[in-house]
Amino acid sequence: SILFHEKFDFDRIGAIIEDEKIYGLNLCGLELDKFPKSILDFKNLIYLDLSHNRIEELPLNIANLISLKFLDLRFNRIEMLPDSIGNLKNLQVLSLSNNLLTGIPNTIGELKKLKRCDLNDNMLSYLPKSFGSLNKLKVLSLWNNKLGELKDTFGNLKSLKNLNLRGNELERLPESFSNLESLEKLNISKNKLIELPESFGTLKVLKHLFLNNNKLSNLPETMGNLNETLETLYLKGNEFKNIPAIIWPLKKLVNFNLDGDTLDDDSKELLSGEMNRERIRLILDYCRKRANIRVFISHEMGDFSKYKIDKIAEILEKQAEIYYTYYCERDMKKEGDIISFMIDIIPTCQIMISIITDKYIKSKNCNFEIELAQSYGVKIIPILGADVNWNNVFLKDNSLFRELGFKYNEFRVKNLCKEIYEYIIEYKKEKNIYAEKYKMILSKIKKNFKKIVKNKIFQATLKKRMYNIQKILQDYEDNQLDDLEYLNKISEIFVND
């Protein structure tokens, strides 16, 4: 039952009275067309069920019910809530499903003790920013409304465990959605989603995910981060052309579905028949083999011909799991702009093969490529040229050890490529390279922030503009600003000072 509570578990019409005080009142299904004003005198009322009536509005002085914890108003005709609803400071459960609500007052954010909120089957097109203040909310049900977007403050609902957004009009989720760190079950089926935030994979305790009947054609690379928790993934009725390869690390998956006319024949064949654990295992194995990898070949340009860079790229690109192999002689569009090329391409790759020669070690550009790859969590495979050995200081300084790489042999290029490919596949099995890369970038951002706040100029500006900063902090804490607005306003102070 939505409003189950051991003390007030009664189905019949009536009241619970102790010491001549009314604590519980059930007036369900009495065809009431007005909220009974006499109820407002019951200062000790904890449980109130007025569901399945014809009530059109709530009294302004509903705030008189200062002890109220459970309020059930399902199946009425309520179009608006009074601002005074925010004064029900002890409210823990609020059920307003199957009404005619088109909006929610900002004061909803003052219900600091609210743990469950049911707003299904209304006509809500938005939620106020203040909704993000409900930091004890665990269950939120909003299915069958008209929500077109969620405010960035929605990500502040850090206690939320169960969220149902089925049957709305959402095309995207805010980036802050990944802050819902307690979320275990998410139903966002029957919307208009065309993509998920790239940070979606940081929902570290998510177990059940329903995405069916949207407009998705791919999933974010971080999806594989859910490999320790995700048990249910429903993708039916989307626009996928094949089974998304990025799901391959999801080893806990036991419930899965996907269909659609847009799927290729291999996917349709794999998905046909009973969807049991064995079939899911086969699907994940198929996805693992298909998960595309981008490779960057880092080399000193004078070594291009001698070390057959184009041949290595050609052989690797023929392998099923390698999407593309980049090298500057072929892929650099603007001649001579090597730095821009590196910055644009290397962060998009998962693997960098470095042909390390004496020229390479002395090259500033090659050193920059190593630094860039390490900064973005790109796995480096060192290939040693004839004039370098494994004891070289450059290799040690960059943690490029013998176990991670190979020695180049001009007479065995095909065999070398085979060994490199096998190494990549084995590494991919052991680690989710997409997740590793994401964690590396996040770690770097955090590290840089720590460095920035120790900067003397930063600290001087902080002292100089302390009043302005305190005002922004207060607005953020009061949910007057969402995450991005907060960051922008703080940044403006330091940039414009």
Give CA–CA dist 75/480, Å, rounded. 32
DSSP-derived secondary structure letter, 324: E
Question: What pairs with residue 295 in β-bridges?
Answer: 325, 351
Tokens 């009294």 locate to: 59
Q: Which helix (H) or strand (E) holds 440?
A: helix 433-453
What 441-448 contacts at long range (C-beta under 8 Å, 24+ apart), as own/partner pairs, is 441/376, 441/377, 444/375, 444/376
Which of these, 125, 93, 132, lies nearest to 110 by C-alpha position? 132
The structural domains of the chain, ordered by start, are 6-290 (3.80.10.10), 293-435 (3.40.50.10140), 455-496 (no CATH)
Give CA–CA dist 277/266, Å, rounded. 19
- State CA 164 to chain mean position distance: 16
Give the pLDDT confidence score for residue 443 in this predicted structure: 62
Give the pLDDT confidence score for residue 172 in this predicted structure: 95
Give the pLDDT confidence score for residue 469 in this predicted structure: 78
Give CA–CA dist 474/324, Å, rounded. 49
Stretches in the chain below the pLDDT threshold 70: 1-15, 19, 320, 334-336, 428-447, 449-450, 453, 482, 484, 495-497
The answer to whether the beta carbons of residues 258 and 235 sit under 8 Å apart is: yes
Q: What is the pLDDT of residues 394-409, one digit of tens each?
A: 999 998 887 778 999 8
Give CA–CA dist 211/181, Å, rounded. 19
Which of these, 128, 141, 135, 127, lies nearest to 111 by C-alpha position? 135
The answer to whether the beta carbons of residues 95 and 71 sit under 8 Å apart is: yes
Give the pLDDT confidence score for residue 479 in this predicted structure: 73
Give the pLDDT confidence score for residue 493 in this predicted structure: 76
- pTM exceeding the 0.95 threshold for the entire prediction: no
Q: Which two tokens stand for residue 59?
A: 């009294």
How far is the CA of 471 from the CAs of 73, 388, 434, 466, 490, in angstroms?
38, 59, 39, 9, 10
The answer to whether the beta carbons of residues 182 and 161 sit under 8 Å apart is: yes
Q: Which helix (H) or strand (E) holds 163?
A: strand 162-164
What 9-15 contacts at long range (C-beta under 8 Å, 24+ apart), as own/partner pairs, is none
Give the pLDDT confidence score for residue 430 in this predicted structure: 62
Question: For the packed helices 466-477 and 483-496, what is the interaxial angle rounded to 10 degrees?
Answer: 170
Give the pLDDT confidence score for residue 5 in this predicted structure: 44
